[in-house]
Amino acid sequence: MTTDACHPTLELLPYAPAGRRSPMTCHYRCATSCAKPVANPTATPTFRDVVRSAVSRRGVLAGLVGLGVAGVATAQAPQAVAAGRGGRNPLAAAFDPGHQIDFSPIAPVPGDADSFDVPAGFAWSTVISWGDPIVAGAPEFDVDAQTPEAQAGQFGYNNDYTDVLPLAGDPNRALLVCNNEYTNEELMFRGWAEQDGPTDDQLRIAMAAQGMSVVELRRAGADAPWAYVRGSEYNRRITATTPMELTGRAAGSRLVRTGGDPKGRTVLGTFGNCAGGTTPWGTVLSGEENFNGYFRAPEEPVDDAAARYGMGGEGRGWDVVDGRFDVAQEPQEPNRFGYVVELDPYDPSSTPRKHTALGRLKHEGATISLAADGRAVAYMGDDERFDYVYKFVSRRSYREGDRKHNMRLLEDGDLYVAVFTGDGTEDGRYDGTGRWVPLLTGGASRVPGFSVEQVLVQTRLAADAVGATPMDRPEDVQRNPVNGRVYVACTNNTRRGTPDEVAVDEANPRPENKDGHVVEITEDRDDAAATRFRWNLVLVCGDPAEETTYFGDVDRSLVSPISCPDNVAFDAVGNLWISTDGNTLGANDGLYEVAVDGPQRGLVRQFLSVPAGAETCGPVIAADGTVFVAVQHPGELEGASVDTPKSTFPYDGTGQPRPSVVQVHRV
């Protein structure tokens, strides 16, 4: 049976996305949400007027250059002021951590190059690719012989969050855990554009290609490359149909009950899994991001919550084979997605859990720190234009060595959202103070008019009600284990400061922000459970030749251009590593090392570059100096298909672009 439920081509996409991200990526990943109205309606004229009168675009820019006069058309970078006053950035600590990985940065690679580039003295090789058989009995990858059953035993599509976990105390064994965010049917199925619509099998293959993958890795010795183990007892696929337990105070509530699950405690599957985190107790967290695009729902949202979560559209056609993806049949089913999933990769029979305590949003990911008193703190971004940064603090504390106890920490706790306040730009820096505003503490809602369940299921609405600060698409949020500060990648927001949208503010200072920026948060007393913090922008990304950018006090001629920061990671000495998604500067995306302490604070150096159409995901900077990246959607460019690929990465002889995890090491 075929259906026209999901249009097989891109002809319906007159929309040209901001920056260089392909319309194809927008279509398949996020249902082209950028072309739709901003989902956050708290950007009311009244609210905007207040913001505008407080810090108008012109005011910010004029303040930056210390002129205070009208007519300043171009922002000048704040460091120019600081340098002019003879000051070194006072946030730069005295110690210089140096570099864990000694490399000479590569030059940006032009944006049409189908190549994977690493610095001189380094080599790369593929660890695993989409379709590689991992579960015992799964067949070899064959683009022309795909079945749902085969895909459910093969490595998933579009690897995003990636980590490599220790295994059995053996330095030559490890577990690779990956999110598989979304599928691109045009690049998966030969003849897709000529079809009337997807076949049932193709729909089920897509459902089996998303979710997560767990696979054992082995190497012959410390200097040998990692290879995956086919049929290991640890190998596992999590798909759009894997049973999961809903935990927390919203589990079982009327908001999450469906005809298929009248108790509201068992959800089938996960998808849209973007970034994630690995907990101190050895589980992996996975953020469900663009879940709204998977459901057939009325174009005109039925209520405020549906509008706020971007519901409305045809979905991906999955409703043809599974009625729960049609909200006319199961109106509550979308309320069971948009959570942080916790997976125990060491137990292949474990049931993944979706934690309602961490709220429901377009979770980019979640990363855990321990507070001074041992409570587990999760930092989280909601990746949408003008959405928010969140923090969860567990009720109970971490117990060293008590894994059973620790694995329940994310089931109950307090939930906060961030408010950023600037201290004015006269000081030449984008910085200020902030508060973590409670949405739910001590098991009680702190949002007037919202029940506990509403706070956890309609979290965006609750955060709107307390006046959270709209950010420029906050993606990965992680705490640096060396310096204790928290880094928020705001990837971009070209609507910022445009007519009828939210004005610039000190934490999001650039109008039509196409290149993004990185916020650095210092918690009060360096305690992750604090409710107050200081913040500053450590990077305002872009071409260093552009005056609106900011890279600390370093020599700009040494700075690699960087655009659209997405995932962040840290190396053993505390340098920040940033992978990018959507470079607007005419180059392919890449992975960059950023010094955040010492005299080189703000120095960005490009380490690698991914092929045309791809984004860089997952980065892992392993203790032994191996760098792992997930190369997501290589060759995802307009006009690409199985027969006319725009990339053949990882150049494995199949002639097809295959999302892959790659290892980079010194030669």
Q: Which positions touch Ca ion (CB under 5 A)?
A: 274, 423, 427, 429, 431, 566, 581
Asked if 636 touches ligand FEO (CB under 6 A), the answer is no
Instruction: Identify any residues that bridge with 421 across adjacent strands, giving them in sequence order.
Output: 433
Q: By C-alpha distance, which of 336, 320, 340, 203 is closest to 260?
A: 336
- Euclidean distance between CA atoms 630 and 476, whole angstroms: 15
Asked if 431 touches ligand FEO (CB under 6 A), the answer is no
Q: Which of ligand FEO, Ca ion, none sits in contact with 427, Cβ below 5 to 8 A by type? A: Ca ion
CB of 43 within 8 A of CB of 502?
A: yes
CB of 656 to Ca ion, least distance (A): 23
Q: By C-alpha distance, which of 425, 428, 424 is closest to 90?
A: 428
CB of 437 to Ca ion, least distance (A): 21
Write the burial class of residue 285 (CB in 10 Å: 0-12 exposed, 13-18 middle, 19+ buried).
Answer: buried
**For ligand FEO, what does the binding mask look like between residues 347 and 366, x meaning CB under 6 A?**
-----------------x--
Total residues in contact with ligand FEO, by rule CB under 6 A: 6
Nearer to Ca ion, 336 or 429 (CB): 429
Q: By C-alpha distance, which of 596, 570, 523, 480 is closest to 372?
A: 523
Nearer to ligand FEO, 150 or 489 (CB): 489
Give, as ranges, the residues between 176 and 195 that touch ligand FEO (CB under 6 A).
181
Nearer to ligand FEO, 60 or 562 (CB): 562
Q: Which tokens hold the place of 377?
A: 């703190």
**For ligand FEO, what does the binding mask look like between residues 361 and 390, x meaning CB under 6 A?**
---x------------------x-------
Q: Which tokens hold the place of 614?
A: 């791809």
Q: Which of ligand FEO, Ca ion, none sits in contact with 423, Cβ below 5 to 8 A by type? A: Ca ion
Asked if 320 touches ligand FEO (CB under 6 A), the answer is no
Q: Which tokens hold the place of 319?
A: 């409703």
**For ligand FEO, what does the binding mask look like between residues 22 and 41, x meaning CB under 6 A?**
--------------------
Give, as ranges, the residues between 441 and 500 that touch ligand FEO (CB under 6 A).
475
CB of 172 to ligand FEO, least distance (A): 32
CB of 29 to ligand FEO, least distance (A): 6
Q: Which of ligand FEO, Ca ion, none sits in contact with 181, Cβ below 5 to 8 A by type? A: ligand FEO
Give, as ranges, the residues between 282 and 311 that touch ligand FEO (CB under 6 A).
289
Asked if 543 touches ligand FEO (CB under 6 A), the answer is no
Q: Which of ligand FEO, Ca ion, none sits in contact with 429, Cβ below 5 to 8 A by type? A: Ca ion
Asked if 589 touches ligand FEO (CB under 6 A), the answer is no
CB of 381 to ligand FEO, least distance (A): 8
The whole-angstrom distance between residue 323's C-alpha and the CA centroid of its chain comes to: 29
Q: Which CA distances in Å does 615 have to 18, 286, 345, 369, 580?
A: 15, 18, 25, 27, 6
- Euclidean distance between CA atoms 162 and 277, whole angstroms: 9
- Euclidean distance between CA atoms 201 and 206, whole angstroms: 9
Q: By C-alpha distance, which of 252, 245, 280, 236 is closest to 266?
A: 245
Q: Which of 18, 72, 118, 274 binds ligand FEO (CB under 6 A)?
A: 274
- Euclidean distance between CA atoms 165 and 182, whole angstroms: 23
CB of 304 to Ca ion, least distance (A): 26
Q: By C-alpha distance, which of 126, 138, 287, 151 is closest to 217?
A: 126
Write the burial class of residue 149 (CB in 10 Å: 0-12 exposed, 13-18 middle, 19+ buried).
Answer: middle
Q: By C-alpha distance, which of 181, 141, 30 is closest to 630?
A: 181
CB of 579 to ligand FEO, least distance (A): 11
Nearer to ligand FEO, 267 or 275 (CB): 275
Nearer to ligand FEO, 330 or 475 (CB): 475
Rg of the chain over all Cα atoms, to the nearest angstrom: 23
The CA dihedral of 490, 491, 492, 497, to the nearest 10 degrees, is -10
CB of 424 to Ca ion, least distance (A): 5
Which residues contact ligand FEO (rule: CB under 6 A)? Answer: 181, 274, 289, 364, 383, 475
